[in-house]
Amino acid sequence: MNVIILGATGQISSYLIERLLNETTAQLTLYGHHVTQRITVIDDQREHLVDGDILDEATLNQAMVGQDFVFLNTPTAEAMNATAAAMKKAGIRRLVISGTIGLYNEVGGKFGEWGKPMMAYFTNRQPERDAIAALDQDNAIDYTYVRMSMLYNNAAKTDYTLVPFGTPVTGAQVSRQAVAHFITDMVKAPTTHQNENVAIIETGSENLAKPSFY
């Protein structure tokens, strides 16, 4: 299995890299801005660094060759569209994107009331919704869009609960380590959660009025 991580210097990517190295035999291509300066390689037989911008078509196309699984840690419409185009050129089907709750005005409960001022920004992001809809209609790509609840770091909290599209999201938080856990689970079983748009929350956070770290 060859996995490319786009936006490899992000926090979720760092936890994902660690899990993939420990739990799989995947070959990793770590792609992003100045990764050769910002990432310390743990296993030089399995980690391959590529300095590049997701919107740099030539560099991205070259990095995609031979990949089996793509993780996009930059959920802008431009990045999603560019990634999809490069994947189709290379004949790659499997894509996972880490995104955010609030795109569909789906945050409910006490948490939804508390977070309404922040969520207003995301409900106006029509370009992102359009890019996700395009993936949903594209028979050449098997995508998973992961709508993450409010993020924090907690290595002891790697459990997660998935909330299907169309269901109100009341879970107030999820750890970055739990998100990395979910993505690792999909790398291990790539046919799971294909063509799904799901929210991810910390199990048990459904009754919180706001994140525990606020």
Q: Is the pLDDT of residue 122 over 80?
A: no
Q: Name the residue with tokens 């990432």.
A: 39
Compute the average pLDDT of residues 171-197.
98
Q: Is the pLDDT of residue 68 over 90?
A: yes
Compute the average pLDDT of residues 194-198.
98
In a domain, 30, yes or no: yes
Cα separation of the two ends of the chain: 39
Provide DSSP, 76-98. Answer: -HHHHHHHHHHHHHHT--EEEEE
Nearest Cα neighbor of 73 from 33, 19, 119, 43 is: 33
- pLDDT band at residue 119 using 50, 70 and 90 as cut-offs: confident
Q: Give how many domains the chain has, as a whole number.
A: 1
In a domain, 58, yes or no: yes
In a domain, 150, yes or no: yes
Query: To 5 degrees, how large is the angle CA 9–CA 15–CA 19?
Result: 125
Bridging pattern class, strands 27-32 and 196-201: unpaired
In a domain, 72, yes or no: yes
> What CATH number should be reported for the domain holding residue 183?
3.40.50.720
- Here the tokens at position 3 are 């996995």
In a domain, 213, yes or no: no
- The total number of residues shown for the chain amounts to 214
Average pLDDT, the chain: 96
Bridging pattern class, strands 161-163 and 196-201: antiparallel
In a domain, 75, yes or no: yes
Backbone torsions φ then ψ of 168, nearest 5 degrees: -60, 140
Using a 10 angstrom Cβ sphere, with 0-12 exposed, 13-18 middle and 19 or more buried, the burial of residue 48 is: middle
Q: Is the pLDDT of residue 174 over 80?
A: yes
In a domain, 155, yes or no: yes
Domain coverage including residue 179? 2-207
Query: To 5 degrees, how large is the angle CA 42–CA 47–CA 53?
Result: 120
In a domain, 214, yes or no: no
Q: Is the pLDDT of residue 61 over 90?
A: yes
